[in-house]
Structure 1
Amino acid sequence: MAQTGVDTDDGVRLSVLVEEPERAAVTVVLAHGWTLDTRTWGPVAAGLLRGPRPPRVVRYDHRGHGRSDPAPPETMTIDRLADDLAHVIAATAPDGPLVLAGHSMGGMALMALAERHPAMAARAAGLAFVATASGGLARTAFGLPERGAAVARAVDRRLRELPGRSRRGSMGPPWLLAPALRWLLLGRHPDPLARLLTVRAVAACRPQTVAGFRATLDEHERDTALAAFAGTPTVVLAGDRDRLTPLAAARRITEALPSARLTVFPGAGHMLPVERVPGVVAELDELVRGAVEGAPARQSPG
């Protein structure tokens, strides 16, 4: 594994991990979600590298996340994440077929890539939208009834105020955050590794990052952007116990992109890259195989 950095056009340096087996024909780029980092794609990356046709695997931390530089507040937008993704691709995979996979906010960055960098998006030979949404997040109630939703909105307001209230470098001790994060992000019976990776990533996130990217999630409306991927083999992966991007969000993507195939993981929550590692690896392996062979992955019937 090689760790490197990619400089963006506004001076933010992104931390990038590249794993490159011999004779890899395809590059898989994995974009993580809001408040997370490259660790949450680690089990999937390892699974891909053990596969019959291991690809190059590129993981990176979004600006403000993980080991990447802090982000100026005005740049904490999904548009800017799409620009960063274009920089990562240009630096690490300037040619050859790509399989792009985005979890949560990372999936939203893939959608914005089609708007802002269509030539780069057109290089994708496969796409995976993992526990993500094409819009409607401003109206989410986190799966709660109205009384509970009011509490969630109060917590949301506190999140937005974090930059002015907190000088901490992280969200807090993992043991303190674990119960709430398990309820919000994970489904039924998550294994210890899924719990550990999820809690450690969120706990380490900068409060300014958590608050700074909150508004752009509400503003994200990119149903029309999905049309750019109509000819690209695409899978949409969802957990039926996802409170952040519920199953309705996945169905909305497939309605806007009828060529995409939806796979639902029973009992899984929002953290599919750590909760359902074999299933996610199998879906990406199929996209890689299609990219190598030049044959489309299977599509949804009808």
Structure 2
Amino acid sequence: MTRRARANGIELAYDTFGAPGGRPLLMIMGLGAQRIHWDEGLCELLADRGHHVVRFDNRDAGESTHLHGAAVPAFGGDGQPPYLLGDMADDAAGLLDALGWESAHVVGASMGGMIAQTLAIRSPHRVRSLTSIMSTPSVHAAPPTEAAMAALMAPVSLDREAAIRQSLLTWEVIGSPGYPLDRERIARLAGLSYDRCYDPAGTARQLAGIIASGDRAPLLKNITVPTLVMHGEDDQLVPLPGGVATAEAVPGARLITFPGMGHDLPRPLWPEFVAAIDELTSAAER
């Protein structure tokens, strides 16, 4: 069931899994992706381990507030984006307020990992543990391959079927070469995402915010909470050096890499993801 909360001057749409008394776990998704890209099955596995899971749509994605009146900076241009990753981290902190959570375990994937890192930097008292998945301290630490960049910058699809086809083409490039491509799931999520809110301009604003936010590595050295970094060894969109750089920047961070994993969360790896996150959050609680 979709719930809504006022946070940092906007409205965020979210839903929950697990008992309210469980370990609070905030899940932050990546560029242009919606909360439904955290599969319900994965969220339920985390809930079964004693977490109270909240996944939400970032600003300019899904059912949360879209800044339709804001400028869309040209890629590579000099224009200042309407917001930075710091603003998106403040959105997450505002959601914690709305949930009545003083702090939470925070898990972020891709851009969501960047937001989670930024939240831990800006509001360390709100983060009990940090899990950064297929992410990086800066775009310069792990630039995408040419093929991944071409997929990311593909022309915008105007109709639903074209958007689904483009999503399939994109995941053929950036998905996990070591695991079968779940074309049915990709098509289903692409269609559902289109129906909920298709907003390429919002994705462009998010991307501009990422690029303009600079390098977090110097500030990541100040993070003291237990930190887990997970990364695919065959990621073309955010290559493995991004995960290595994150783990090297955060004191005491644990790095786990997965052969054959690209820029997605293959279902066969879910048990390993869940076990690692559960181990982290359990230790942090102790």
Post-superposition CA distance 1:17-42 (Å, at most 9, x none)? 12241642x10000000011111212
> Which residue type is aligned with residue 7 of structure 2?
T
Match of 1:81 among 82, 88, 102: 88
1-structure distance, mates of 2:151, 2:266: 29
**Greater mean alpha carbon deviation, residues 259-268 or residues 13-22:** 13-22
1-structure distance, mates of 2:131, 2:188: 21
Q: Which residue of 2 aligns with 1:133?
A: 136
Residue 56 in 1 paired to residue 52 in 2? yes
Per-residue deviation at 1:195?
3.6
Aligned residue-pair number = 270
2-structure distance, mates of 1:291, 1:106: 21
Post-superposition CA distance 1:49-100 (Å, at most 9, x none)? 222xx111111000111111212445442121111011111111423x5211
* 1:58-207 equivalence runs, <5 A: 58-71=54-67, 72-73=70-71, 74-95=81-102, 98-116=104-122, 118=123, 121-137=124-140, 140=143, 142-144=144-146, 152=149, 156=153, 168=158, 172-192=162-182, 195-196=186-187, 199-200=190-191, 205-207=198-200
* Change in CA separation of 1:103 and 1:154 when aligned onto 2, cut-off 3 Å: closer
Structure 1: 5+ residue stretches without partners: 295-302
* Change in CA separation of 1:194 and 1:223 when aligned onto 2, cut-off 3 Å: farther
2-structure distance, mates of 1:275, 1:201: 23
1-structure distance, mates of 2:161, 2:115: 23
Residue 266 in 1 paired to residue 262 in 2? no
> Which residue type is aligned with residue 57 of structure 2?
D
* Change in CA separation of 1:258 and 1:34 when aligned onto 2, cut-off 3 Å: same
1-structure distance, mates of 2:200, 2:152: 14
Per-residue deviation at 1:260?
0.3
1-structure distance, mates of 2:150, 2:141: 11
TM-score of the aligned structures, taking structure 2 as reference length: 0.82
Residues 129 and 226, structure 2, Cα contact 8 Å, conserved in 1: yes
TM-score of the aligned structures, taking structure 1 as reference length: 0.78
Post-superposition CA distance 1:156-184 (Å, at most 9, x none)? 3x66xx6xxx8x58794313431232212
1-structure distance, mates of 2:82, 2:279: 35
Structure 2: 5+ residue stretches without partners: 72-80
Q: Which residue of 2 aligns with 1:40?
A: 37
> Which residue type is aligned with residue 17 of structure 1?
D
**% identical aligned pairs:** 24
Match of 2:202 among 200, 209, 212: 209
For the aligned residues, what is the CA RMSD?
A: 2.9
